[in-house]
Amino acid sequence: MFNFEFYNPTKIVFGRDTVTRLSTLVPTNARVLILFGGASAQKNGTLDEVKAALGTREVHEFSGIEPNPSYETLMRAVEHVRREKIDFLLAVGGGSVIDGTKFIAAAANFDGEPWDIAVKGGANITSALPFGAVLTLPATGSEMNNGGVVTRKSIQAKLAFHSPLVYPQFSILDPSKTFTLPPRQIANGVVDAFVHTMEQYLTYPVNGQVQDRFAEGLLLSLIETGPLVLAETNDYDARANLMWVATLALNGLIGAGVPQDWATHMIGHELTAQYDIDHARTLAIVLPSLLNVQRGNKHAKLLQYAARVWNITEGSEEARIDQAIQNTRDFFESMGIKTRLGDYELGQAAIDIVVTQLSAHGMTKLGEHKDITLEVSRKILEGAL
């Protein structure tokens, strides 16, 4: 096991009818800015619930934080924060709204051009406004971690940042808030959480027993819960399991002390940037092919994954690995998520463009061994045709 640090001070308030807890979680004298995406928070009543729970506090609203939140939009929120002397932010939404709120929290207190926060990956954050979240879409884990991604449209850049100063103070997770989500977003959430787990698990063994068992536990839960959340919109327990799995898949716990990959995400980001394919769908395209191309490096862990997650213990080692990769692909497809570039009407030309973009962004040594060169990325994409 590698040496590691684990620190996560976000308070999770989980369950039915927990939005009312805002009345005690937010300071009583706070000047609050509620941040959200589009009309859904209004339509499904969550926004009204949030405002009711905030009572007599001074409450402002900022809507329009888009998927893959843009610097341009977020800076308008920063102006609002500064102008109105806001001192507490409240994100109501999914990963994009929470990521955006983290950036706003840091940018509002930043001395200089806030885009530098993204350029430096958050290392230059020295203070941030306090904030909380009401999660409505289980997927990214942003509700219990200290990272975010921000996109600057004008220069086509999408950058990640991290800082111990941008953990949410609290996150409210009410699974019944997901009942109104479209199936496409639920399916994306399942695949996103699955691949987050795989990026921290499917590398090489370092005898991190708990990390392996916990990662396998998340994968097994997703395999069990995935069909249930798609089949029935009002199955509270299934939604609760998905929500808690997605949070734990990226809160730092399963990745502590073990190697991590993240090449699937880096290649997937380029597909989203170029072709506007949903983040989770790009992961479903890349991962099965990446596991196949990297099967040498990942041999031992692939066999462990086959046995413990898919109960595949018969046949030659290579046959077991083939079957485990096939099962992974089949699981994504069973969620209604296509796993081939061709399904998105992309072919060899797209691969050339994506590899060029990877090169332009310095993504030339990816993976847990830094051995996924541009040539290997090309092979992975060709395997996904």
Residues in contact with a copy of itself by CB under 8 A are 1-16, 18, 207-210, 213-214, 216-218, 220-221, 224-225, 237, 240-241, 244-245, 248, 256-257
The smaller minimum CB distance to a copy of itself, of residues 151 and 200, is found at 200
Query: Among residues 256 and 271, whose Cβ is nearest to a copy of itself?
Result: 256
Kindly state the tokens that stand for 22: 């805002």
Contacts of 213 (CB under 8 A, 6+ apart): none
Cross-strand pairs, 160: 149
Whichever of 100 and 168 has its CB closer to a copy of itself, that residue is: 168
Q: Compute the least distance from the CB of residue 214 to a copy of itself, in Å.
A: 5
- Residue pair 153/273 in contact (Cβ under 8 Å)? The answer is no
CB closer to a copy of itself out of 4 and 179: 4
- Could you tell me whether strands 157-162 and 147-152 are parallel, antiparallel, or unpaired per DSSP bridges? antiparallel
Q: In this structure, what are the phi and psi dihedrals at residue 68, rounded to the nearest 5 degrees?
A: 50, 70
**Strand pairing report for 88-93 and 147-152:** unpaired
Do 140 and 246 form a contact (C-beta atoms < 8 A)? yes
Shortest distance, CB of residue 309 to a copy of itself, whole angstroms?
Answer: 11
Query: Which residue, 224 or 330, has its beta carbon nearer to a copy of itself?
Result: 224
Cα–Cα distance, 143 to 191 (Å, whole number):
17
What one-letter code names the amino acid at 14? F
Shortest spacing between CB 58 and a copy of itself, in angstroms:
27
Q: How far is the CB of 177 from a copy of itself (least distance, A)?
A: 14
Amino acid (1-letter code) at residue 258: V
Alpha-carbon span 234 to 188, nearest angstrom: 18
Least Å distance, CB 350 to a copy of itself, is 37
Nearer to a copy of itself, 5 or 111 (CB): 5
Nearest approach, Cβ of residue 207 and a copy of itself (Å): 4
DSSP secondary structure letter of residue 65: P
Q: In angstroms, give the least distance from the CB of 346 to a copy of itself.
A: 35
Report the residue number, 30 or 220, with the smaller CB distance to a copy of itself: 220
| Burial zone of 354 (CB within 10 Å; 0-12 exposed, 13-18 middle, 19+ buried) | buried
Q: Which helix (H) or strand (E) holds 50?
A: helix 46-54
Count of CB atoms situated within 10 Å of the CB of 348? 10
Q: Which is nearer to a copy of itself, 239 or 329 (CB)?
A: 239
Of 256 and 324, the one with the shorter C-beta distance to a copy of itself is 256
CB of 256 to a copy of itself, least distance (A): 7
**Cα gap 103→106, rounded to integer Å:** 5
User: CB under 8 Å, gap of 24 or more: what pairs does 41-46 form?
Assistant: 41/92, 41/93, 41/136, 44/177, 44/180, 46/19, 46/92, 46/134, 46/136, 46/177
Closest separation in Å from C-beta 212 to a copy of itself: 8
